[in-house]
Structure 1
Amino acid sequence: MNFFEHQAKARSSSTRMVLLFALAVGGIVLAVDLAVLVLLGTQMESAGGIAVLLFVSTVGTVLVVGLGSMYRMASLRGGGESVALQMGATEVPANTTDFQLRRLRNVVEEIAIASGVPVPKLYVMEHEAAINAFAAGYSPSDAAVAVTRGALERLNRDELQGVIAHEFSHILNGDMRLNIRLMGTLFGIMMLSIIGQRVLIYGRGGGKNGGAILGVALVALVVGSIGAFFGRMIKAGVSRQRELLADASAVQFTRQTEGLAGALKKIGGLHEGSQLTDKAKAEEVSHMLFGEGLSMSGLFATHPPLVERIRLLDPSFNEQQLQQLATRWMAAPPDGMQEDLALGLAAAPQPLPPLAREISVTPPMIAAQVGLPAEDDYRRADSIAQSLTPELRQLTAQREGVMPLLLGLLIDDNPAIAANQRIEVAARLGEAVAAQAWSLRAQQLASLHPMLRLPLASLAFPVLRLRPRPELDAFLAAVHAMVHADGQVSLFEYCLGKLLEVQVRESLDPARYTRFGRRKPGNVRREFATLLAVVAQSGNGNAMAAQHAYLSGLQRVLPRDHLPYAPPAEGVLTLEGVWEGLDALDPLAKQVMVEAITAAISNDGRVSVAESELLRTICAVLHCPLPAMLERG
């Protein structure tokens, strides 16, 4: 299953979740109505009175469930950060000196670069000795990855890489968005149980009404248990298969099974396992954890059996071996950092390709790589990270340095346009920021390898989104002004500016960007024609070659439509009207879209490094993250 099929399946899972939720609410309503009928129906003197009573109880129950879900969804509007903080996790500083946290950040940054997505916010659950992790958020732009301190202490680098790759699979494939909706939705059907518990705790000793209060509390608990039953069934049904798919994706990414299998073996062999100490919080997020957060089995288990997961990675493994590991580790628990030293775990970096290099690609090949990084992408990501100068890496971790750094990437090579851009930046962010951006451009960014620009933006993003909202609004205004300074901005600079705008806006209001698209290519003909015309015009020196490139792309996506090539009069700025429509495409339609863009860019059969980075940028704007390497080793 590729990225687009994963996304389509996640959308169908959302629909199924809504149906199961409706069935759960129906079961709860029936149970409440039955309890009301038994307790109060005998006191009604007419059928009409009973009908009114049942109507009131039905409406009241639906309101309790609905308002509970709405309340919980509102509390999660902040996205991944909200979930991590509610789990009691603490943020990992960008410039941390803790060796375990530094290793975690390095692994996450490399996988983010390889995947083509922003670096997520990092959190650690300091008081959890178990081995576990989760990814939460509505989109990659607001994603948060949290790991337990036990995972940092017990796992070596390969094992930690396997766990993080598993979580990145959830980020890329739409699982994360589904999981956070599930949290909010299921809270509503647990409301009666929560109310019953609160009444029992605070309603004791209620005088002459104590018996009635106790009765109401017991009824709420019994009916609430129905909600708990349905909730666990829904989580188990949605989560189990996706955990196996995430395991498979992690292996495909890292190209080795030992890391992920080793992490699972340590979960099974260590006393702490993967179970969290805060059972109430673990219950709510159990479906999004790397390992079982609670002791559940059978129908309610949110994860496949641990031995089954290990055997899929290591077919020779058996439960007897797990017992042997448990016995060995009881005397001497594993130390991940010491294992790193003993195993000599360090990736061998690869040199970046020369700027003149061209590669041969096909549209289906590129579409198959979207959201599906491989082991060579991971090695290339390490090379990319090491190719950035220490000064640039330091700026990505500084609150005051990220804005000038990102603005510096957008400065045009044309001095006249650059002068207009500087005026716009100074007017919105001050002359000091403008001066630093132009200084960085002159000293380091002008000669930056094209393959380093998107990773640099990815590394800077976690620190950028920590700035106050008014500053981010001013930054976005400056980015927009730079892109539109003269109407002669290059296509890459325009797309990079648009990508920054999209990612920052999504991080500011993540709950607004939760929907899977449903549009078909036939509904966005104009948008397709415009995008392909701009791409063709940008990559070809003469009108005839541009027309061939345009028609090559159009044939992929709208083969039966006759939409003549018309070079946009406003150039790249014409793209302002296409993004919303194209981003709302059905996941499988997006696959065809990526193939069409690739066909237009590679019409001559070859793709340069600069063209490949343009392709990655356009795909990123449209939420189709393309890994670091277009060619496969």
Structure 2
Amino acid sequence: MNFFERQAQARRNTTRLVVLFALAVVGIVVAVDLGVLLVFGSDPALLAVSTLLALGVIGIGSMYRTASLSGGGDSVALQMGGVPVPEDTTDVQLRRLRNVVEEMSIASGVPVPRVYVLEHEPGINAFAAGYSPSDAVIAVTRGALDRLNRDELQGVIAHEYSHILNGDMRLNIRLVGVLFGILMLGLIGRKILQHGAAVRGRNAMPLLVAALLALVVGYVGLFFGRMIKAGVSRSREVLADASAVQFTRQTTGLAGALKKIAGLHDGSRLTARAEAEEVSHMLFGDGTGLSGLFATHPPILERIRALEPGFRPEGLEQLKAQWLARPPNGLEEDLRLGLAAPADHGPLPAHGADIDLTPPMVSAQVADPDEEDYRRADAIVAGLPGQLRAMASLREGAMPLLLGLLLAPDDEVADLQRSEIVARLGVGVAAEARRLRDGPLASLHPMLRLPLASLAFPTLRLRPRPELATFLDTVHAVVHADGRVSLFEYCLGRLLEVQLREALDPSRYARFGRRKPGNVRQEFATLLAVVAQAGHPRDPDAARRAYLAGMQRVLPRDHLPYAPPAEGVLALDAVWEPLDALDPLAKQVAVEAITDAISHDGKVTVAEAELLRTICGVFHCPLPPMLEHA
């Protein structure tokens, strides 16, 4: 399956979750009514009250827990005891972790997530959480940092990125909220029994009987909850392992991490058992020790053998004995294996180099990075000027850096943009943005602009919400300063807006679209006309051919004439929301249509490829850098 098919599958899984939840609720209500029937007799009024109470408790519990997670991935990480990893950390282990995460993000085309460490967890585990890539977090245990070498850590992080790219996170976080409601009756019963000794008198017995009944029904809810998690999670873990291998193009790292989980005493278990139970379906490894029908992960040996078919249990026993005598140390292994040595980075392609690509090739690569993309990401990170990388990690540097990327090369337009920045953020930010535009950003390679914005994103998210709202308003004003903005600058500004708005209110924007191309004909015509005109500003005939090539791909039976809007790129303000609401498989056709319009003349420059990546980012279809060798 490609990205679009996996997104469609994730949407079906969401529907499946709703059905399973409804069946679980029915089972719990029936259990409550049977208990009331056995204890209090067949009183219809009492049965009706018990049914309504059960439904009310489940509904309120689910809504409460879901609301508590409205902050997205950060909420989950903090509730698990996660400690944020600073963007400018100098700690060797934390820097290694951040480097791996940043390279993965650049290779896959998604914003760099927030990174957390579960400091008090000696086991080897990790999870990704959030509603969308814009609010995603990656959390790893202290045991993973201490015990895994760089290749193994890379394999674990690649596994978690699979969950980010496949839409699994959205389902996982909703699953936490839904299942809490199922468990609410049991939690209430347990609390009443714990404090029941303080209850005296004639009214104590009915209360304790009701609490005991709730506790018994709670075990019914626990059974259903564990079954739902196991059914939803197990197959996705197998897919995530396979995706991680495709991403890193080597099995030794991921297999090595799994072997250490199987061979070390702490394994992947979490010491915070209650929290581990709640998020067990999110974890890289089994965090609770459940097996059989309730297991959220395939058996560890089965996962290892899928990566190394010749591996035998005897080999694991040898590793256990070796690690019992001397536990593994990840940093020492890096040095011994040469993993800490700097990589040999190849040069970035020339600005005007042509890239060979086709629409099916592009749609196949959306959110499906491989080892070559990871190598390119390594080269891109190495190509970023040190001054700009430092600015991206500084709290006071991210805003002027991103605004500097949006400033027009024309000084007259830049003066208008400066006025908008001064009015909202002050003279200092405006001056620094202009200095960066005229200095290190002036010669920045086109392939480095999106990665630089991605690196600045987690730093920007640390700012208070009012400041981010002001920054969003500033970005919009800068992009629209005079209505004569290039398509790339416009799309980059739009991408920043989309990602920041989703990070500010993640649960609001978590959705799968359902529209079909036939319902957004005019929006497609507008987008393709703007793309075609931007690619051929002085050749209307070539622009018309590019437009028709894209329309033929997405709406072959419709005949909408080429009519570039008078307002130019600003006409796109009205098309993003309807087009982003397309069904996942319809989005695949949309991406291919845009690619057809850009590549109709058989040539795609590096700058055009970066424009394509930016548009795909606005559509939530992350595209790795450098689609093919130039």
Shorter-chain TM-score bucket reads over 0.9
Q: Which residue in 2 is equivalent to 1:97?
A: 90
Deviation per CA, 1:314-340, whole angstroms, max 9, x where unpaired?
A: 000122211221111111111110000
Q: Which residue in 1 is equivalent to 2:25?
A: 25
Alignment partners' CA distance in 2, 1:497 and 1:525: 25
| Structure 1, gaps ≥5 residues long | 43-49
Q: Which residue in 1 is equivalent to 2:577?
A: 580
Q: Which residue in 1 is equivalent to 2:472?
A: 476
Alignment partners' CA distance in 2, 1:632 and 1:293: 42
Alignment partners' CA distance in 2, 1:65 and 1:348: 57
Of 425, 445, 458 in structure 2, the residue corresponding to residue 449 of structure 1 is 445
Counterparts of residues 155-304 of structure 1 (less than 5 Å): 155-208=148-201, 209-304=203-298
Alignment partners' CA distance in 2, 1:537 and 1:204: 78
Alignment partners' CA distance in 2, 1:432 and 1:415: 18
Alignment partners' CA distance in 2, 1:223 and 1:266: 39
Q: Which residue in 2 is equivalent to 1:63?
A: 56
Q: Secondary structure at the match of 1:607?
A: coil
Deviation per CA, 1:443-481, whole angstroms, max 9, x where unpaired?
A: 111111000000000000001011011111111111000
Alignment partners' CA distance in 2, 1:369 and 1:348: 25
Alignment partners' CA distance in 2, 1:114 and 1:204: 59
Structure 1 residue 512: Cα displacement: 0.4
Alignment partners' CA distance in 1, 2:289 and 2:272: 12
Of 412, 418, 424 in structure 1, the residue corresponding to residue 414 of structure 2 is 418
Q: Which residue in 1 is equivalent to 2:140?
A: 147
Q: Quick check: 14-23 or 216-225, which moved more?
A: 216-225
| CA RMSD across the alignment | 1.0
Alignment partners' CA distance in 2, 1:348 and 1:163: 23
On the 8 A contact 1:356/1:608 being kept in 2, the answer is: yes
Alignment partners' CA distance in 1, 2:426 and 2:244: 45
| Structure 2, gaps ≥5 residues long | none
Counterparts of residues 50-129 of structure 1 (less than 5 Å): 50-129=43-122
On the 8 A contact 1:204/1:210 being kept in 2, the answer is: no
Counterparts of residues 446-525 of structure 1 (less than 5 Å): 446-525=442-521
Q: Secondary structure at the match of 1:124?
A: strand
Alignment partners' CA distance in 1, 2:26 and 2:318: 48
Q: Quick check: 453-462 or 217-226, which moved more?
A: 217-226
Alignment partners' CA distance in 1, 2:489 and 2:41: 71
Alignment partners' CA distance in 1, 2:321 and 2:59: 49
On the 8 A contact 2:356/2:629 being kept in 1, the answer is: no
Q: Which residue in 2 is equivalent to 1:46?
A: none
Structure 1 residue 213: Cα displacement: 2.9
On the 8 A contact 1:122/1:146 being kept in 2, the answer is: yes
Q: Which residue in 1 is equivalent to 2:524?
A: 528
Q: Secondary structure at the match of 1:17?
A: helix
Q: Which residue in 1 is equivalent to 2:393?
A: 397
Q: Which residue in 2 is equivalent to 1:621?
A: 618
Q: Which amino acid aligns with 2:90?
A: T
Counterparts of residues 11-22 of structure 1 (less than 5 Å): 11-22=11-22
Q: Which residue in 2 is equivalent to 1:334?
A: 328
Q: Secondary structure at the match of 2:350?
A: coil
Deviation per CA, 1:284-317, whole angstroms, max 9, x where unpaired?
A: 0000000001111111000011111111100001
Deviation per CA, 1:68-126, whole angstroms, max 9, x where unpaired?
A: 00000000000000000000011001111211100000000000001111100000000
Change in 2 beyond 3 A, CA 1:325/1:311: same
Structure 1 residue 553: Cα displacement: 0.6
Structure 1 residue 568: Cα displacement: 1.1
Q: Quick check: 412-421 or 33-42, which moved more?
A: 33-42
Alignment partners' CA distance in 1, 2:306 and 2:558: 47
Alignment partners' CA distance in 2, 1:629 and 1:54: 64
Q: Which amino acid aligns with 1:244?
A: V
Of 593, 603, 607 in structure 2, the residue corresponding to residue 606 of structure 1 is 603
Q: Which amino acid aligns with 1:416?
A: E
Q: Secondary structure at the match of 1:273?
A: coil
Deviation per CA, 1:593-620, whole angstroms, max 9, x where unpaired?
A: 1100000000111110000000000000
Alignment partners' CA distance in 2, 1:351 and 1:210: 78
Alignment partners' CA distance in 2, 1:213 and 1:155: 52
Alignment partners' CA distance in 2, 1:63 and 1:506: 31
Alignment partners' CA distance in 1, 2:241 and 2:545: 42
Structure 1 residue 211: Cα displacement: 3.1
Of 379, 384, 405 in structure 2, the residue corresponding to residue 383 of structure 1 is 379
Q: Secondary structure at the match of 2:128?
A: strand
Alignment partners' CA distance in 2, 1:405 and 1:254: 31
Q: Which amino acid aligns with 2:82?
A: A
Structure 1 residue 632: Cα displacement: 5.9
Q: Which amino acid aligns with 2:257?
A: A
Structure 1 residue 197: Cα displacement: 1.2
Structure 1 residue 625: Cα displacement: 0.1
Alignment partners' CA distance in 2, 1:348 and 1:292: 37
On the 8 A contact 1:204/1:214 being kept in 2, the answer is: no
Q: Which residue in 1 is equivalent to 2:555?
A: 558
Q: Which amino acid aligns with 2:333?
A: E
On the 8 A contact 1:348/1:379 being kept in 2, the answer is: no
Change in 2 beyond 3 A, CA 1:245/1:117: same
Alignment partners' CA distance in 2, 1:89 and 1:501: 27
Q: Which amino acid aligns with 1:344?
A: G
Counterpart check, 1:630 vs 2:627: yes
Alignment partners' CA distance in 1, 2:548 and 2:410: 31
Counterpart check, 1:131 vs 2:124: yes
Q: Which amino acid aligns with 1:29?
A: V
Structure 1 residue 514: Cα displacement: 1.0
Q: Secondary structure at the match of 2:93?
A: helix
Change in 2 beyond 3 A, CA 1:459/1:600: same
On the 8 A contact 1:376/1:632 being kept in 2, the answer is: no
Alignment partners' CA distance in 1, 2:138 and 2:195: 37
Structure 1 residue 241: Cα displacement: 0.5
Deviation per CA, 1:499-549, whole angstroms, max 9, x where unpaired?
A: 000011000000001111111111111111111100000001311100100
Q: Secondary structure at the match of 2:507?
A: helix
Q: Secondary structure at the match of 1:147?
A: strand
Change in 2 beyond 3 A, CA 1:168/1:632: farther
Alignment partners' CA distance in 1, 2:144 and 2:204: 48
Q: Secondary structure at the match of 1:135?
A: strand
Q: Secondary structure at the match of 2:474?
A: helix
On the 8 A contact 2:62/2:179 being kept in 1, the answer is: yes
Q: Secondary structure at the match of 2:138?
A: strand
Structure 1 residue 418: Cα displacement: 0.9
Q: Which residue in 2 is equivalent to 1:595?
A: 592
Structure 1 residue 212: Cα displacement: 2.9
Deviation per CA, 1:224-280, whole angstroms, max 9, x where unpaired?
A: 111100100110000000001011111101010100010001000000000100110
On the 8 A contact 1:548/1:603 being kept in 2, the answer is: yes
Structure 1 residue 432: Cα displacement: 0.7
Residue identity over aligned pairs, in percent, reads 70
